[in-house]
Amino acid sequence: MPPAAEKATTPEEEDLLFRLLRQLDLAPEASQRATAAALGISLGRLNAQLRAAAEAGLVKVTERDGPDKRLRFAYSITSRGAAEQSRLRDQFLGRKFAEYDALHAELTGTTSGLNPFQHRTKTMQNQHAPIPELYVSHESAQKLKVEAADLPSWDLTPRQICDLELLMNGGFNPLKGFLSEEDYNGVVENMRLADGTLWPMPITLDVSQKFADSVEPGQDIALRDQEGVILAILSITDRFTPNKAKEAEKVFGADDVAHPAVNYLHNVAGPVYLGGPVIGIQQPVHYDFRARRDTPNELRAYFRKLGWRKIVAFQTRNPLHRAHQELTFRAAKECQANLLIHPVVGMTKPGDVDHFTRVRCYEAVLDKYPAATTTMSLLPLAMRMAGPREAVWHGLIRKNHGVTHFIVGRDHAGPGSNSKGEDFYGPYDAQDLFKEHEEEMGIEMVPFKHMVYVQERAQYEPADEIEEGVTVLNISGTELRRRLAEGLEIPDWFSFPDVVSELRRTRPPRAKQGFTVFFTGFSGSGKSTIANALMVKLMEMGGRPVTLLDGDIVRKNLSSELGFSKEHRDLNIRRIGYVASEITKNGGIAICAPIAPYATTRRAVREDIESYGAFVEVHVATTIEECEKRDRKGLYKLAREGKIKEFTGISDPYDVPENPELRLDTDGVDVDYCAQQVLLKLESMGLIGAES
């Protein structure tokens, strides 16, 4: 514990330290006399407080010239001082609430119903009042940027940037930073922070083992975006290695990598978590749809200005169709509330429509809603697809944004099927868990009603209210994707023409999209030979540019500095995947032919590419014995002699693809036949055809 904190043992001393730090934050250039006057204490007591705060590392002392040319001192709060100010502010407000509650009880005979910040489990009911943010003042931010330049730095991942933004702007209130080990354990076990506050989702800063070994609790680190811009300072209080299998079981319901968040947890996230309070310096920069991005306090101010008392929020990560419009109309009408369309534009499920396309779709149909009672704002959230827990999490986030009602869907934030082909969550598990905590959260649930089109009445109605004998029309998400992929008609009763137009613009029929064919197999299996034959056949057909990314060619031109360790092999395949994703995104055909021995890396490449087009995995399933017989380069012989280390199939494992789009056995089969099998597969998938 820092010396100043040791001395500030009474509430009065803590209040004085809080007011001192706040005053230095608000007026860093003020004279000591002015600071003492603002605090209502003598100069002598102020100097004692400043010395103690400086010794504790809460305040930085610098020399400056005074108006009379004598040497003066300037005092500014450090990042640790800003974190301490945030902690003391909660204690200060907690005591003031308690004093108010006691006075209220004395005068009226009843309590006020307000709870101190540190002990509340029910959020405050006034959705118009500002909520705490973690940003320091502009002046302090400029000084902290200079200070942070000398701190160890962690470059945030896209998911961590989303989390940090919502931490800093109050979207994750009451969190003050990334979870400590005690808070993390409470959230994983029972959805509660250590102080009992309801919070269902672990918000953690995962880092590499190497970086974790270079820092210690009690140390500050700078958090930077991927361009190197300093966004915040983290004062590390905890460094711990989580039980990820337990986290997966408790938070996501199963330790199954078919769940995208569990796969991320095991195969993408770092092995060590850092916890501690965050001091916000600046928000992440967004160049897209800036007028649509609102912080919680900006939305609260907007609702206050318009006099909106009841607001129902609609969560979506998909384009809006006519059924969604009818659903939101009904929800707002039933609640007699205004409507906030609040789509997620952070990270969603791999394979989802990109947020640029989705926002254009939302804007295309926004004029179908009454402007006086509807607004739209974008939420920079990194979804976890955690079903029931995610629904509660979404509710708390919307409560922080000033919302009073929240639509919870059937299988809300469900990731689809598990490894056994069954849904991860029951269809109404999310609604049940939300309902269980609804009163404590202070936000009401509006159950999602499955809307279907009744042909006889030419309108959408709730599926559970329709009598027998009428004709019900519906198009599933899978059917919609099929119609888009094959360029088939999408009827006006299902969606809006402007939405369909946007979707077709981004996702043209498959025969006009870019795609990647990814060969994998042992060295000598015939991957490169078949890939070359396929390239020639596709070039003969014409229509789209074709690029071959053969393993040996890439090693020579793109990854010449890499060795053959697992880390370097992964990096080589990720580079191939990145180039292939760019080719696919721009409408070309990428043919990749590396060994790619690890299933986890192949899955990551698939997810990157499927954001832009099809990924066709072809397992060239030639046996290791046959590959060793062919051994034109003598590599297997050298591997058997121990002269080549970490050789796939001999001294290093190969993860056989479980569900490739195509499996080829080249034993006794000529190359032309194998290439023809790939072409037939591409044709059956609609990727090539008469117009290709």
- Phi and psi angles of residue 174, each rounded to the nearest 5 degrees, phi first: -95, 15
- The answer to whether the CB of 175 falls within 8 A of the CB of 203 is yes
Structure tokens at 390: 């995610």
How far is it, in rounded angstroms, from Cα 426 to Cα 396? 22
Distances (CA, A) of 191 to 68, 240, 411, 428: 59, 19, 20, 19
DSSP 260-275: HHHHHHHHTS-SEEEE
Residue type at position 413:
A
Tell whether omega for the bond before 427 is within 30 degrees of 0, i.e. cis: no
- Residue whose C-alpha is closest to residue 317's, from 284, 283, 365, 350: 350
307 is in an annotated binding site: no
689 is in an annotated binding site: no
How far is it, in rounded angstroms, from Cα 456 to Cα 458? 6
| Degrees, nearest 5: CA angle 316-188-260 | 45
Across-strand partners of 459? 454
- Residue whose C-alpha is closest to residue 497's, from 375, 361, 367: 361
Residue type at position 28:
P
Strands (E), 448-545: 451-454, 459-462, 472-473, 515-520
356 is in an annotated binding site: no
How far is it, in rounded angstroms, from Cα 117 to Cα 123? 9
522 is in an annotated binding site: yes
How far is it, in rounded angstroms, from Cα 457 to Cα 571? 57
To 10 degrees, what angle do helices 671-684 and 527-541 make?
60
- CA 488 to chain centroid, in Å, comes to 33
Strand-strand pairing, 177-178 and 272-280: antiparallel
How far is it, in rounded angstroms, from Cα 545 to Cα 406? 47
Strands (E), 457-602: 459-462, 472-473, 515-520, 546-550, 589-593
**CA within 13 Å, CB half, 578:** 9
> Edge-to-edge strands of the sheet including 311-316?
374-376, 338-343, 311-316, 405-408, 444-447
How far is it, in rounded angstroms, from Cα 234 to Cα 178? 8
Name every residue whose Cβ is closer than 8 Å to that of residue 123 and which is 6 or more positions away in sequence. Answer: 173, 174, 396, 399, 400, 441, 442
Show which residues are catalytic. Answer: 316-318
How far is it, in rounded angstroms, from Cα 63 to Cα 587? 61
- Provide Rg for the chain, Cα atoms: 29
Q: What number of residues does the chain have?
A: 692
524 is in an annotated binding site: yes
613 is in an annotated binding site: no
How far is it, in rounded angstroms, from Cα 340 to Cα 299? 10
How far is it, in rounded angstroms, from Cα 403 to Cα 344? 16
419 is in an annotated binding site: no
Across-strand partners of 515? 589, 614
289 is in an annotated binding site: no
* Helices assigned H by DSSP within 542-565: 551-557
DSSP 43-109: HHHHHHHHHHHHHTTSEEEEEEE-TTS-EEEEEEE-HHHHHHHHHHHHHHHHHHHHHHHHHHHHHHS
- The answer to whether the CB of 328 falls within 8 A of the CB of 407 is yes
Strand-strand pairing, 459-462 and 451-454: antiparallel
Q: What residues are designated binding site?
A: 521-528
Q: What residues are designated binding site for ATP?
A: 521-528
